[in-house]
Amino acid sequence: MPNALIVRIAIVVIAVGLLELLCRLGVIPNFTMIPPSAMAQSLWKILASGKFSHDIAATLVNVGIAIVAAMAAGVAAGTALQGWPAARRTLDPLFATYYAVPMYAFYPLLIVIFGLGDFPQVAIGFLLAVMAVIINTLNGLDRVPAVLLKTARVHRLGPLAAAWRVRLPYAAPYVFTGFKLAVAYSFIGVIGAEFITSSRGIGYEISFAYNNFDNPVMYAMILFILLLVITVNMSLHVWEKRLLSRRRRA
């Protein structure tokens, strides 16, 4: 096992152990935080009982929709904009300030437009995620060497075929970075929106438990989100590394 990995695991184990100890000794009172072992136990019970299966499924579906929509729309918009410099110049200030806009401020507006269903949550997840895909797609496409574009023309590829067969494959590592961010932003957007107004979902259940001083449920669901997001991102990271290893010099 590589040293860095051992150190990493050690840090997590020590931190969790310390937290456990402080909770058990009463340094951290139980109404503030429950010991990690109790969180795990509670989470296990919740998952086994299937009590929140409906909420977990709702959140995952909404996050999934936001991710897929952001990926598709982001790549399409990025590719189109890269081939249309005038539009890109016009929209550039928007790109630069996009993430300065607190997306949640639009929540009331989204509810007015989309009503009270799952749609506002998906919309916030999508809005947060899509710009990361657009920006990274543009960045990748800007780096395609001129000689590869010429090669596409020598192979008599039209604009769409050139984008699909040459430009996007070349830009893939950058687009992938955009996808990774899109996954993270979609989770943030959807779960955050569930906190505000929603009648189901992981975020809603955490908020509900919080309002009812139900620490075992609240911490169990926080732990669940942590494990979920870490697992998803680690898997993406491993996949990305495998993709990149081919393209790097040995």
Partner 1 sequence: MSHVALRGVTRVYPGKTPVHALGPLDLELAPGEFFAVVGPSGCGKSTLLDVMAGLASPSAGEVLFENRNVKGQVPDGIGVVFQEDASFPWLTVHDNIAFGLRRTGAPAAEVAAQVGYAIEFMGLKEFAQAYPAQLSGGMRQRVCIARTLVLKPRLILLDEPFGALDQQTRLLMGDELLRLWRETGATILLITHSLDEAAMLADRVGVMSARPGRFLELIATGWPRGRDSTIVASESFGRLTSRIWTLLRGESLRAMGHA
- Applying CB under 8 A, the residues found at the interface with partner 1 are 145, 147-148, 150-151, 153-157, 161, 165-166, 169-170, 172, 246-250
80/88 Cα distance (integer angstroms): 9
Question: Closest separation between CB of residue 248 and partner 1, Å?
Answer: 6
Handedness of CA 25, 27, 30, 33 (dihedral sign): negative
Q: Which of 51/150 has CB closer to partner 1?
A: 150
Question: Closest separation between CB of residue 235 and partner 1, Å?
Answer: 21
How many beta carbons lie within 10 A of that of residue 182, not counting itself? 28
Q: Which of 105/246 has CB closer to partner 1?
A: 246
Question: Closest separation between CB of residue 152 and partner 1, Å?
Answer: 10
Q: Which of 5/146 has CB closer to partner 1?
A: 146
Handedness of CA 6, 7, 12, 15 (dihedral sign): positive
The DSSP-derived string for 68-110 is: HHHHHHHHHHHHHHHT-HHHHHHHHHHHHHGGGS-GGGGHHHH
Question: Closest separation between CB of residue 157 and partner 1, Å?
Answer: 7
Map residue 50 onto helix, strand or coil. coil
Residues in the chain: 250
243/173 Cα distance (integer angstroms): 8
| CA-based nearest residue to 129, from 90, 72, 58, 196 | 72
Q: Which of 64/169 has CB closer to partner 1?
A: 169
Q: Which of 1/250 has CB closer to partner 1?
A: 250
Q: Which of 97/247 has CB closer to partner 1?
A: 247
| CA-based nearest residue to 60, from 224, 214, 178 | 224
Question: Closest separation between CB of residue 243 and partner 1, Å?
Answer: 9
8 Å CB contact between 223 and 40: yes
Question: Closest separation between CB of residue 175 and partner 1, Å?
Answer: 12
